[in-house]
Amino acid sequence: MKIAFVGSKGLPAVFGGIERHVEEIGRRLVHRGHAVTVFGRKPFSTGGEYQGMQVRLMPSIPTKNLETATNSLAATVCALFEPFDIIHYHGIGPSLFCWIPVFSRKTTVATIHAPDYRQVKWGRIARTLLRLGERTAARHADAVVAVSRLMSRELGGLYGREITYIPNGATLYDQPPFERARELGLESGNYILTVGRFIFERGFHTLLEAFREVDTDQRLAIVGDARFEEEYAAGLTKLADERVIFPGHISGPLLNELYAHCSFYVLPSLLEGLPISLIEAMSFARPVIVSDIPENLEVAEGIAMSFRRGDPGDLAGAIRRMLSMNGEELADLGERGRTRVEEEYTWERVTDSLESLYRAALGS
């Protein structure tokens, strides 16, 4: 099969969950003999070949409201004139254009990663267009994927069609040595970790407010970036005390090192699709604390310690309880999380499901 991915920033995956999803499944599809093209944009990617995938840069208007939409439209037009068997849209914004390939009789797949129109950063017009993108995917794509069971059920009921559940995943690595992370001023087993974009929905403000109430010598590492959200990021630095570090965006081996050696991982999200960072923390057998939104509990219920969404006091209590647990209890929570990932959330399983969906959509 010849497959085009539309909607990501490009490769390598250093900026977001969609990019990580595209990279992990794309390189596995290449390994299985498929030809994969990823449409991206500057300054996130340089184009060329990456892990067997062809990365094609398309133009975009680099503003918060227009960047993804204009890039996805340009990628769609380009894909029409090339012999792709599948055009796969990632995200509800890019899916706004998945009706266009209908006229060239190309098979389209749309993956809905999250209900982005619920994010506070979007204005009324942007939210309307994002909802329209979701509706367009449901009405025009040959196959629609949701990354959580919850979204699959909700969208299936809303649009009256089959929405296939194919989750995000993680790779099960051996624990790396603690080396480069020392340069960040951290000690193995003596820091709390969270990872994500600096947007309101990640709830980092809740975590910082909670952490100020906790008497501990452990540090808090908040890993991420703040593209188009500089005001929110500035507010986070004002909430942080001297125990908190913001090392910026980190990926690859250093991020794996941070996951593997944290004392535990916290995901304070107010809104999620299916959180890759949570799955990755669990894959390293790390205990986790999560907000009690359904998307987080779908991944980690029965394993994670949870707290009321957006409640700093309740999160502070959860952190204290986690800090008071002994090594055996923490190890048990971590191993149960890794087992959950191994049973349901590996990228190999995800790729198996997607490859089967492609074949079904093509009628082969």
Q: What string of pLDDT tens digits covers the 364 residues of the chain?
A: 999 999 999 998 766 789 999 999 999 999 999 999 999 998 888 889 999 999 999 999 988 888 999 999 999 999 999 999 999 999 999 999 999 998 888 999 999 999 988 888 889 999 999 999 999 999 999 999 999 999 999 999 999 999 999 999 999 999 999 999 999 999 999 999 999 989 999 999 999 999 999 999 999 999 998 765 688 889 999 999 999 999 998 988 999 999 999 999 999 999 998 999 999 999 999 999 999 999 999 999 899 999 999 999 999 999 999 999 999 999 999 999 999 999 999 999 999 999 999 999 998 6
Q: What was the pLDDT predicted at 251?
A: 86
Q: What was the pLDDT predicted at 15?
A: 60
Cβ contact 244:208 at 8 Å: yes
Cβ contact 11:45 at 8 Å: yes
Structural domains present in the chain? 2-169+346-362 (3.40.50.2000), 180-344 (3.40.50.2000)
Q: What was the pLDDT predicted at 62?
A: 87
Q: What was the pLDDT predicted at 220?
A: 98
Q: Report residue 246 as tokens.
A: 């913001």
Task: Give Rg (Cα) of the chain.
Answer: 20
* Cis amide linkage into residue 94, ω under 30° from 0: no
C-alpha pair distances (Å), 227 with each of 64, 121, 179, 249, 273: 9, 12, 29, 11, 20
Q: What was the pLDDT predicted at 104?
A: 86
Cβ contact 120:202 at 8 Å: no
* Cis amide linkage into residue 176, ω under 30° from 0: no
Q: What was the pLDDT predicted at 146?
A: 97
Q: What was the pLDDT predicted at 204?
A: 97
CA-nearest of 295, 308, 270 to 150 is 295
Question: Residues of 321-345 as b/e, b for ≥16 C-beta within 10 angstroms?
Answer: ebeebeeeebeebbebbbebbeeeb
What counts of helices (H) and strands (E) characterise the chain?
A: 12, 14
- Helix or strand (DSSP H, E) at 60: none
Cβ contact 112:137 at 8 Å: yes
Q: What was the pLDDT predicted at 217?
A: 96
Q: What is the DSSP letter of 268?
A: -
Q: What was the pLDDT predicted at 54?
A: 97
CA 261 to chain CA mean position, Å: 21
